[in-house]
């Protein structure tokens, strides 16, 4: 779909929730649209736009800003999730409306609006302007089905039974449900965010999921009975999948700066499938006891490991850990995760199962050792182990801590003494990698859905 057939490019305004795990997939979706001849523009907060785009010009995506009420310091300035969400929810709608109005008045009217499911008020704003809108979910269909059932009162909380069976999903034990549900009352502000995603969804013209159809087809089919559901993922830079968008290797925005040279030169020359990559994403925070158990497991397993420990978490490492393990391990504050996962030295990913990390590992064929922490991660981990069969879960004890022996056993199974189960997991990982590529490649289900969306705008 090129310019010559399409003199007036449709202008799509895209609005992710301002956090790494949301901006990455939605920005990547914007790049897909751009590659197909759409004028894609991103809305982010004043604070993030000043601090975080590695090179906005490299993406050719216009960046617009609105206020979340914390222009100087963003989330940190707010001090708590409750304070951040309350202020953003009260300041955001007017700020977004002012932006859409300004774009219209300056000759850049918005033809379609794509908003993050976390921000349902954005749909109400777009509707005031009569703009066709799509909601974009950055978490799995399964997890969102759970939240949908709660929003409709079809799942009572606290749960009266030890497991739930929902259409298109495997039976889920309480501990395999999203933490906001399993530990009802644990984070009320976030619980409201995830459940309220469905408050006005019937008004959305399209419902986008960052998956490919084969990944969750039963639940996609079930949800398609209510809404115009379109799978549009995995939204991972094209160079790691279909390679149809030139130089598309980076998400283009980092809240934290990756230590690229240190990671890549350390990985260089390590034997194939010899390195355990360890990361818990941008948000999760391990307790000191859990950090110690993990550190001891890494040390006694005697494997090569690359561990991302964010600056704010560093003090939890055991005394002298970095020095004592320097022959086998590298600890960095942030890494170029896609480059790391696609390096052939990496044989396993010890992950919190954030949905982006899960999709990235799946799309790059890297088996996962799942250590979910909270939110959607327990449900993702269940799928990794039992539905897609591309990893194993390291289960916590009754105190909620995964002991070093458990982690060591999983590392053996997946990396150092790969047995029958480990081999099966490797085989499945390659199968899913191929299916992910097929989904977004030319003519794949996600690719066709993106084309259908664009065709509606022309």
Applying CB under 6 A, the residues found at the interface with ligand UPG are 20-22, 24, 138-139, 258, 279, 281-284, 308, 334-335, 337-338, 354-357, 360, 375-377
In the bound state with ligand UPG, the residue whose beta carbon lies nearer, of 68 and 360, is 360
Q: Which residue matches tokens 């604070």?
A: 47
CB of 282 to ligand UPG, least distance (A): 3
In the bound state with ligand UPG, the residue whose beta carbon lies nearer, of 10 and 17, is 17
In the bound state with ligand UPG, the residue whose beta carbon lies nearer, of 388 and 418, is 388
In the bound state with ligand UPG, the residue whose beta carbon lies nearer, of 103 and 253, is 253
In the bound state with ligand UPG, the residue whose beta carbon lies nearer, of 242 and 376, is 376
In sequence order, what E strands does 264-327 have? 275-279, 304-308
In the bound state with ligand UPG, the residue whose beta carbon lies nearer, of 206 and 334, is 334
3-state secondary structure of 42: strand
Among residues 100, 78, 73, 101, which one has the least CA distance to residue 90? 78
| Run of H or E residues at 150 | helix 141-151
CB of 173 to ligand UPG, least distance (A): 19
Instruction: Establish whether 116 is a catalytic residue.
Output: yes
Catalytic residue (one of 11, 64, 111, 116) = 116
- Residues with Cβ within 8 Å of residue 154, at least 6 apart in sequence: none
CB of 377 to ligand UPG, least distance (A): 5
* Whether the Cβ atoms of residue 80 and residue 29 lie closer than 8 Å to each other: no
Among residues 356, 328, 326, which one has the least CA distance to residue 341? 356
In the bound state with ligand UPG, the residue whose beta carbon lies nearer, of 45 and 356, is 356
Q: Which residue matches tokens 């914007």?
A: 30
CB of 412 to ligand UPG, least distance (A): 25
CB of 102 to ligand UPG, least distance (A): 29
* Whether the Cβ atoms of residue 439 and residue 233 lie closer than 8 Å to each other: yes
Question: Cis link prior to 234 (omega < 30° from 0)?
Answer: yes
| Residue 270 DSSP class | P
* Whether the Cβ atoms of residue 394 and residue 406 lie closer than 8 Å to each other: yes
Q: What are the φ/ψ torsions at residue 114 (nearest 5 degrees)?
A: -120, 120
CB of 1 to ligand UPG, least distance (A): 27
CB of 204 to ligand UPG, least distance (A): 18
445-457 and 20-35 helices, crossing angle to 10°:
70
Question: Cis link prior to 143 (omega < 30° from 0)?
Answer: no
Two tokens, residue 385? 């182990």
Two tokens, residue 173? 């034990």
Instruction: Establish whether 22 is a catalytic residue.
Output: yes
* Whether the Cβ atoms of residue 358 and residue 372 lie closer than 8 Å to each other: no
CA distances from 422 to 140, 328, 348, 360, 406 (A): 25, 22, 11, 19, 15
Catalytic residue (one of 11, 22, 64, 352) = 22
Rounded to the nearest 5 percent, the helix, strand and coil shares of the chain are: 45, 15, 40
In the bound state with ligand UPG, the residue whose beta carbon lies nearer, of 82 and 424, is 82
CB of 373 to ligand UPG, least distance (A): 8
- Residues with Cβ within 8 Å of residue 262, at least 6 apart in sequence: 330, 332
Residues serving a catalytic function are 22, 116
């Amino acid at each position: 779909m090129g310019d010559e057939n399409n003199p007036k490019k449709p202008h799509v305004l895209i609005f992710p929730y301002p956090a790494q795990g949301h901006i990455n997939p939605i920005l990547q979706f914007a790049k897909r649209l751009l590659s197909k001849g759409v004028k894609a523009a991103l809305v982010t907060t004043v604070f993030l736009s000043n601090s975080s785009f590695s090179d906005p010009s490299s993406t050719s995506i216009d960046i617009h800003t609105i206020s979340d009420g914390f222009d100087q310091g963003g989330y940190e300035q707010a001090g708590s999730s409750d304070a951040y969400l309350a202020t953003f929810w009260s300041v955001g709608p007017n700020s977004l409306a002012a932006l859409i109005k300004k774009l219209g008045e300056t000759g850049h009217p918005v033809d379609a609006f794509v908003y993050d499911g976390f921000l349902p008020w954005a749909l109400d704003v777009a509707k005031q302007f009569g703009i066709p809108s799509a909601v974009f979910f950055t978490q799995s269909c399964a997890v969102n089905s759970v939240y949908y059932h709660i929003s409709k009162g079809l799942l009572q909380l606290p749960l009266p039974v030890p497991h739930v069976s929902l259409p298109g999903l495997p039976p889920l034990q309480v501990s395999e449900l999203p933490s906001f549900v399993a530990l009802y009352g644990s984070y009320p502000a976030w619980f409201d965010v995830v459940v309220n995603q469905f408050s006005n969804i019937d008004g959305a013209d399209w419902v986008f999921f960052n998956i490919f159809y084969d990944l969750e087809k039963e639940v996609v089919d079930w949800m398609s009975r209510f809404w115009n559901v379109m799978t549009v993922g995995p939204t991972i830079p094209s160079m790691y999948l279909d390679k149809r968008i030139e130089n598309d290797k980076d998400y283009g925005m980092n809240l934290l700066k990756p230590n690229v040279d240190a990671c890549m030169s350390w990985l260089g020359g390590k034997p194939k499938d010899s390195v355990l990559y360890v990361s818990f994403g941008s948000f999760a925070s391990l307790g000191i006891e859990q950090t110690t158990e993990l550190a001891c497991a890494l040390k006694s397993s005697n494997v090569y490991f690359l561990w991302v420990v964010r600056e704010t978490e560093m003090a939890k490492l055991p005394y002298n850990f970095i020095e004592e393990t320097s022959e086998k391990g590298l600890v960095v504050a942030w890494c170029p995760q896609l480059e790391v996962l696609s390096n052939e030295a990496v044989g396993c990913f010890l992950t919190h199962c954030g949905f982006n990390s899960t999709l990235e590992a799946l799309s790059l064929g890297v088996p996962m050792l799942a250590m979910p922490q909270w939110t959607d991660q327990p449900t993702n981990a269940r799928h990794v182990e039992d539905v897609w069969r591309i990893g194993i879960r390291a289960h916590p004890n009754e105190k909620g801590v995964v002991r070093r022996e458990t982690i060591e056993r999983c590392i053996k199974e997946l990396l150092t003494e790969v047995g029958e189960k480990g081999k099966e997991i490797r085989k499945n990982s390659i199968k899913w990698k191929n299916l992910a590529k097929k989904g977004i490649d030319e003519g794949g289900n996600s690719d066709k859905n993106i084309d259908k969306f664009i065709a509606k705008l022309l």
